[in-house]
Amino acid sequence: MKPTTIENLYESVRQRAERYPESIAFGGRQGIGWRAVTSRELLALVDQLASEIAVNLGVVSGDRVVLWIPGSWQAPVYHFALWKLGAVIVPLDKDTNRELAVAIMRSVEPRVVLVGYDYRPEWLTESDPVAEWWEPGTRGGEATEEVVTNELALIAFTSGSTGNPKGCMISHANLLHEVDALADNVPLGPGCRLASVLPLSHLLELTCGMLYPLAAGAAVHYVPSRRGPDILSVFQQQRITHLIAVPQLLGLMGDAIDAQLRKTLPSPVYRTLLTVATRVPFAARRRLFSAVHQKLGGELSMIACGGAALPREVQEAWERFGIRVLQGYGASECAPVIACAVADGSTPVGSVGKPIRGATMRLTLEGEVLVRGPNVMRGYWRDPTRTAEVLQDGWYSTGDLGRIDEGGNLWILGRARDLIVLPSGLNVWPEDLEAVLRAHPAVKDAAVMAVSKPRGGLLLHTHLIPTGDPGDAREIVAWVNQRLAAHQRLATASWWESASGDFPRTATMKVRRHLLPLPTETGPAVPPSLIGDPVGRAVARVLKLTATRGDQTLAQLGVDSLTTLELQTQIEDESGKTLPDGFLQGDLTLDDLRRAVEALPDDSTGDALAHDLEAAGGNTSRWPFTWGRAFRTFALPLDVLFHRAATRIVVSGAENLEDLPRAVIFAGTHRSYPDLPLLRYALEKTGRAELKDRLIIAAASTLYANAGLLGLIGTLLFGIYPIQQYRRQRESLSELARLANDGSAILIFPQGHHTDPALERAGDPRANFRPGVAHLADALGASVVPFGAAGSDLIVPPHPAADFRGIIIPGGIPLVIHRAPVAICFGPPLRRQTGESPAAFATRLQQTCFALARQAEAAIGAEQESRI
């Protein structure tokens, strides 16, 4: 990639549209479907949104705009639109604690706070300028070509709890240089597809996961959450080739894959496979572990990891699979990448590689890493004192200790300062936590330290000096955690025991943290009292606690943003149930959590992420509804039989099938088995034969759970699509949405069973439509074409009579056929109206279909009278 000459990040969107106009730039979930935005569409959306923000919010150059929005395809549109206006973005993480957020708001004095989650953050006040984000392009305003250049692009605040947070002033030039330089280390180009898992408030994701792929011509697809099913679904459906991750995520995914291998392979085979993998060429490893790659979508080839130290064993585990892992090193103050490994495998495992192009690095006499270059920040926002502490003559003092080997590769040895860098890349300043601890009346002083966990995790522990007689340290931890951000919460505490009664200190009275002992009490893996308590066992294992109380909240117990995913996975392992997205909230008590988990439906699959890997692709395969449609020809004899049995076929309402949208659902009454060939015939008769060939029948998976070969036959011959109703429901609906958007027509019978028309006329509740049709239409973004059918029950009885002595084929279908006329009548497409509930829409659709069924019956009656 050639060095850029642009001055505003917005221009990279324009360049992308010129170079790769029809390529996918960003993708993400929209409802149940997947929205893919091309480069040309992105530019149009950004231009339109910039005008909307200027007109509706009055944002002008230099204004600070706080972004509190989730990672999705809309997020880049907001970033580039604001940069086009010359605004300065202040990104906030979803879990930013109140004190930090209030301090940031006070410091930056934003023009507006744009919020994009389903709730209002607690740190906002009535006087704060707040606006909920909207769908780009829906607020009017004429797009303009004007681009306002402002040096500052964003202010990235480092994590803190009390005091003045530090805001790194990152310029457009800082980020543009990073984009150019990264091409030397992480090769990306058109055809590459990157999964975005980290929040865009994380500079690693913003730079490496959004800006660089955009400039390189790659596509970025946003994973809805960090849960296993969502990650795997995106990997498989979008055929992900690259991933930006933090060590914690790689450790969890690697452990799940390893657990699955151990489960499916005999021990000798498992050990042999791992041994062989280290001795064969890199490309051959992918063939050895082809099953693993298939679960991950088959295309994943490279992972860039940063934000914290990557355990050597985690990197080696992924590279055994034939997936290259590039470890990087950086800081928010450097936008953020300072050094990075290279893709040819020449960087030693454990090293973070050489400085990126344009950056210069040196070590002080004490071994501290200093950096200078065009990626270094302009300083801390409105804080010249602390800026001067870390920036001298253009050199940024990282606070990290390192060494440089003969090949010029940097090895990080530890911290020269007290900052704790978590595996998620978030920072914790011990002094902030200690200030909160000292506010407790039982605590005279405190010293916080990080305790390493297996596979690269960290727990926060505090040593406490009491003001009087020591009490229960766990009570103090619970009290303090209520006042901390999610990622800052303490896991354990212990009372300090020393003859001096004080911590080891330097001559200037600073605590010598490297001399603090590791906590000695880690607790049993599973306390005996929790044997029958899956939630308690999960909490004990993840947080290393020996005892808990039912009225303690997850926040009080120290469940932070890092351990939420780990705890959710562990609870699913222990309970065998699937926890919905957002299930674990900080204010949830253990007793409430136990009751909520007990109320969830049983899921015998279990094993959480490991099971998700095993079950990946376990949904109905896509091929029966693409090239597998060729098997529909084997249903031709049934169509011929239908034509022979129908004395006449009446089709009306053909005008309602003209100019249908791309995503469409046919929904109507259901009399008997010939309803399907009747609909197929009607589509062909009305000139919509392309829909007939691409018809998919949506049905509950429970109806086909034990169907075996019969279920496969139904899928191949008739296009039956079993919708998963529990663990992989969202993925199942997402796949159905993709098929609908690709031009397939969906057929659903909202009554759910064969229904006697007499029940419809009598208003019997057994004939009512179910509201699921509305949910499905919303999920697919589809219009619903109503229809009413008549006569099919006269050709094939829906249920065998009690005295029936003929043949009943599998599925309970009586093998008896009568000759009779049939009719079908279509109505105009329907959509849910504003404010209309799913139940109300189902009722409206039902009334329409019943009226159409009466018209179809009248058509049959007229046919019979004419024959008389």
Percent of the chain with pLDDT over 90: 45
- The pLDDT assigned to 866 comes to 55
Question: Coil, strand, or helix at residue 679?
Answer: helix
- The pLDDT assigned to 162 comes to 45
What residues contact 786, with CB distance under 8 A and at least 6 apart?
667, 668, 826, 827, 830, 845, 848, 849, 852
pLDDT band at 525; cut points 50, 70, 90: very low
CA angle 644, 647, 652 (to 5 degrees): 110
- Judged by phi (left if over 0) then psi (alpha if -120 to 50, else beta), residue 293 lies in alpha
Determine the distance from the C-alpha atom of residue 849 to the mean position of all C-alpha atoms in its chain, rounded to a whole number: 38
Instruction: Give the mean pLDDT of 184-210.
Output: 95
Burial 352-370 (b: 16+ CB within 10 A, else e): bbbbbbebebeeeeeebbb
- Strand positions, DSSP E, 661-815: 664-668, 695-700, 720-723, 745-748, 783-790, 808-809, 813-814
For residue 294, pLDDT beyond 60? yes
Alpha-helix runs per DSSP H in 170-305: 172-182, 203-206, 212-216, 228-238, 247-264, 267-277, 282-288, 290-295
Phi, psi dihedral angles at 37 (to 5 degrees)? -110, 120
339 bridge partner residues: 329, 355
- The pLDDT assigned to 711 comes to 67
Closest by Cα among 294, 303, 322, 310 to 232:
294
193 bridge partner residues: 219
Determine the distance from the C-alpha atom of residue 498 to the mean position of all C-alpha atoms in its chain, rounded to a whole number: 48
Measured distance CA(264)–CA(317) in Å, rounded: 18
Q: Does pTM top 0.95 for this prediction? A: no
**β-strand pairing of 64-68 with 112-115:** parallel
Measured distance CA(830)–CA(844) in Å, rounded: 9
Structure token digits, residue 254:
């690697």
- Per residue in 449-467, pLDDT (tens digit) is 888 765 556 788 999 998 8
Closest by Cα among 637, 596, 657 to 783:
657
pLDDT band at 79; cut points 50, 70, 90: very high
- The pLDDT assigned to 2 comes to 45
- Per residue in 763-785, pLDDT (tens digit) is 888 899 988 788 788 777 789 99
Q: Other CB atoms closer than 10 Å to residue 293's CB: what's the count?
A: 19
Q: Which helix (H) or strand (E) holds 462?
A: strand 458-466
Report the mean per-residue pLDDT for the chain: 84
- The pLDDT assigned to 731 comes to 65
DSSP codes joined into one string, 550-586: TT-BTTTTT--TTHHHHHHHHHHHHH--PPPTT---T
Phi, psi dihedral angles at 727 (to 5 degrees)? -55, -45
- Asked if residues 336 and 203 have their Cβ atoms less than 8 Å apart, the reply is yes
- The pLDDT assigned to 394 comes to 94
- The pLDDT assigned to 219 comes to 98
28 bridge partner residues: 35
Determine the distance from the C-alpha atom of residue 187 to the mean position of all C-alpha atoms in its chain, rounded to a whole number: 24
Structure token digits, residue 298:
């088959």
Closest by Cα among 179, 196, 188, 456 to 337:
179
Q: Give the highest mean pLDDT range of 225-239, 283-297, 442-456.
A: 283-297
- Per residue in 682-698, pLDDT (tens digit) is 999 998 988 887 899 88
- Per residue in 243-275, pLDDT (tens digit) is 999 887 888 788 888 888 888 888 888 899 999
Count of residues in the chain: 868
Question: Coil, strand, or helix at residue 819?
Answer: coil
pLDDT band at 433; cut points 50, 70, 90: confident
Percent of the chain with pLDDT over 70: 85
- How many CA atoms lie less than 13 Å away from 109 in the CB half-sphere? 4
Measured distance CA(772)–CA(466) in Å, rounded: 60
The 3-state secondary structure of 115-130, one letter per residue = ECCCCCCCCCCCCCCE
- The pLDDT assigned to 690 comes to 87
- The pLDDT assigned to 560 comes to 62
- Per residue in 632-686, pLDDT (tens digit) is 888 888 888 888 889 999 999 999 999 888 889 999 999 998 999 999 999 999 9
Phi, psi dihedral angles at 393 (to 5 degrees)? 55, 35
Domain annotation for the chain: domains and CATH numbers: 1-150 (3.40.50.980), 173-427 (3.40.50.12780), 429-515 (3.30.300.30), 528-615 (1.10.1200), 630-673+698-746+771-867 (no CATH)
Q: Which residue has the tokens 């019969």?
A: 710
- Strand positions, DSSP E, 560-659: 646-652
For residue 184, pLDDT beyond 90? yes
277-281, 408-412, 830-834: which range is least confident on average? 830-834
Q: Quick one: CA torsion of 378, 384, 389, 391, rounded to 10 degrees?
A: 20
Burial class (CB in 10 A: 0-12, 13-18, 19+), 144: exposed
Instruction: Give the mean pLDDT of 205-234.
Output: 91
CA terminus-to-terminus distance, the chain: 81
More confident residue, 699 or 328: 328
- Per residue in 590-603, pLDDT (tens digit) is 888 888 888 776 65
- Per residue in 302-323, pLDDT (tens digit) is 999 998 788 888 999 999 999 9
- The pLDDT assigned to 728 comes to 56
- Per residue in 82-117, pLDDT (tens digit) is 999 999 999 998 878 788 899 999 999 999 999 998
- Per residue in 330-378, pLDDT (tens digit) is 999 999 999 999 999 999 999 999 999 999 999 999 889 999 999 999 9
- Asked if residues 667 and 679 have their Cβ atoms less than 8 Å apart, the reply is no
Amino acid (one-letter) located at 5: T
Closest by Cα among 567, 578, 511 to 541:
567
pLDDT band at 573; cut points 50, 70, 90: low
Question: CA-based Rg of the chain, rounded to a whole angstrom?
Answer: 31
pLDDT band at 1; cut points 50, 70, 90: very low
- Per residue in 735-762, pLDDT (tens digit) is 787 788 778 899 999 988 889 999 999 9
DSSP state of 633: G
- Asked if residues 250 and 425 have their Cβ atoms less than 8 Å apart, the reply is no
DSSP state of 207: I
Measured distance CA(329)–CA(340) in Å, rounded: 6
- Asked if residues 736 and 694 have their Cβ atoms less than 8 Å apart, the reply is no
Structure token digits, residue 389:
């502490």
- CA 249, 201, 225, 555 torsion: positive or negative? positive
CA angle 582, 229, 735 (to 5 degrees): 110
Measured distance CA(248)–CA(253) in Å, rounded: 9
